[in-house]
Structure 1
Amino acid sequence: MTTLTAPAQAATTRELTDLCLAASIAAARVITDVYARPFAAVDKADGSPVTEADAAAEAVILDYLRATGIPVLAEESAAAGHIPILGERYFVVDPLDGTKEFIKRNGEFTVNIALVEHGVPVLGVVLAPTTGAAFVGDRHGAYECNALSGIAVEKHAISTRSADPLRIVASRSHGHAALAALCDTMQIGSDVSVGSSLKFCLLARGDAQLYPRFTPTCEWDTAAGQAVLEAAGGAVLTLDGQRLTYGKSMTRFLNPYFVAASSRDLAARAALEMQALVG
């Protein structure tokens, strides 16, 4: 594994939010170019698929972020063994979250960029290239906009909403036997299935209340979505009731099982039920 030296850090959160959104828009343009023509997919060492769009989008994002001097933990670079010294403040990038959805051509894939400080995501941008829908969260709150034209328009604030009965969002590409039992226990009224980090975003804008995760994820899969959801009033907890944190280099940046929810109270209740189900 190659170790790179982290340069000096700079810039304010608001400036970084604008930069991350611009980088996401530029990466989305590259992704849609590939999406519009035939492309090949190959399996990485961990068995997950990758396409030329993943590498091309990551290169664009890294170019945008380089001037900040802030280290970047990026999925494809990490897969190649290039992991910088992260420190207490660094970016987390998944240039194409939902590669399986990209290959299926169902449009449910995103560009994810987050800023992590002291182990928690404080800024996140999740952008769906096919629709232009972009979700942004930072210390100033959360908002949704559309960037299909190449600039962010139609900005409006978003926040989580409670509901009775609850609505759950589950992954289209990943399932688990405990999910049905959890739905019964939590008295779920309806469900919606969507790929990639859009699951966090549905919670952030109040379309659903619960996203349980019983299957593996890495930090670049969740950091941006978590930042958006928390900025909108939600929470992401591990099954022991603790906030999902970042910088887990000893486990190759793998996350434990977690639950994202429209409120911390709901997340804590669901985490207990999930823990009981998986033992």
Structure 2
Amino acid sequence: MMSEATAPSLTDLAVGAAIAAADVINAVYDRPIHVVTKQDGSPVTEADAAAEAVIIEHLKGTGLPVLGEESVAAGIIPQLGERYFVVDPLDGTKEFIKRNGEFTVNIALVEHGRPTMGVVLAPASSEIFVGDERGAWAGRILGSAVVERRVIKVGLQAKPRIVASRSHGHAALEQLCRTLDVDSDVSVGSSLKFCLLARGDAQLYPRFTPTCEWDTAAGQAVLEAAGGAVLTLDGAPMRYGKGELKFLNPYFVAAASRELAEAGASEMRRLIE
């Protein structure tokens, strides 16, 4: 098992696992997709399980537990402890089925309830976003290598851009936009919402609908490494390991700064009370 001192190498390992999973996903994407409906009504494809199996194989040498979406769906929930991986092998399955390219591979390392490393890879575009204790960066996958690597940081502006659809969002979203003087909205699927904030393309992502820990852990790690914040509506950082809640997240707000996140959380709380 790897020691605490080798933690940075876990990032490289996760990047390699994500690239391997993306290869599996793209192979399925290039042919007719067979879709099955899970017990909770959500769709799943052969790519979901195949990608998760590849990721688990890459990570098993660390000895750390892996909390994976498809494993949990199959009733396989490991004893997590204080340090473990969280995996969503194909976030945005509906986007995958629509073939719009807005789906991602997500791998995060959670330590003591918070995500400290995250990898988000978009197989269709070959974009990759990574965050850990050293900061956040983005790049592009070429073959099995990362190219065009560059540091990314959040960007603030007087009137924030929001990652949400005013026409298809929660009823309170329009009021939130008015109160926070939102300039415009940007719509994108899956965990790419966090990545838009991390690279400065938007500043606010309020979430009024349910998510699970594997949907958010990697994106949160990338955003926080880029200087942003993810808070629940009580103003606290979003935590992980909520097995008693079936790993469901509360409503939250992701933002380019702690101050904007606090303002968003306060207004969201007021709007839904």
TM-score range, shorter chain: over 0.9
**Cα distance, 1:48 vs structure 2:** 1.1
3-state SS in 2 of match to 1:203: helix
3-state SS in 2 of match to 1:195: coil
**Cα distance, 1:149 vs structure 2:** 2.5
- Residue 114 (str. 1) matches residue 108 (str. 2): yes
Aligned residues of 1:129 and 1:148 also touching (Cα < 8 A) = no
Give runs of aligned pairs for residues 1-279 of structure 1, distance below 5 A: 10=3, 12-170=6-164, 175-279=169-273
Aligned residues of 1:71 and 1:84 also touching (Cα < 8 A) = yes
Amino acid at match of 1:264: R
Amino acid at match of 1:144: A
Closer, same or farther: CA 154–17 of 1 in aligned 2, 3 Å: same
**Cα distance, 1:265 vs structure 2:** 0.6
Aligned residues of 1:13 and 1:123 also touching (Cα < 8 A) = no
Closer, same or farther: CA 13–67 of 1 in aligned 2, 3 Å: same
Aligned residues of 2:166 and 2:173 also touching (Cα < 8 A) = no
Amino acid at match of 2:243: S
Distance 2:166 2:125 in 1: 18
Amino acid at match of 1:13: A
Aligned residues of 2:165 and 2:185 also touching (Cα < 8 A) = no
Aligned residues of 1:131 and 1:148 also touching (Cα < 8 A) = no
Aligned residues of 2:52 and 2:70 also touching (Cα < 8 A) = yes
Question: 170-179 vs 131-140, which deviates more?
Answer: 170-179
Uncovered stretches (5+) of structure 1, i.e. residues with no partner: 1-7
3-state SS in 1 of match to 2:189: coil
Amino acid at match of 1:153: V
**Cα distance, 1:266 vs structure 2:** 0.4
Aligned residues of 2:49 and 2:70 also touching (Cα < 8 A) = yes
Amino acid at match of 2:12: D
Distance 2:166 2:91 in 1: 13
Aligned residues of 1:100 and 1:173 also touching (Cα < 8 A) = no
Q: Kindly, what percent of the aligned residue pairs are identical?
A: 69
Amino acid at match of 2:105: V
Aligned residues of 1:126 and 1:225 also touching (Cα < 8 A) = yes
**Cα distance, 1:13 vs structure 2:** 1.9
1:148-201 CA-partner distances (Å, limit 9, x unpaired): 432101110000010121100016997311111111111111110000000000
Aligned residues of 1:144 and 1:156 also touching (Cα < 8 A) = yes
Normalising to structure 1: TM-score of the pair?
0.95
Q: How many residues align?
A: 272
Normalising to structure 2: TM-score of the pair?
0.97
Question: 40-49 vs 23-32, which deviates more?
Answer: 40-49
Distance 2:125 2:32 in 1: 20
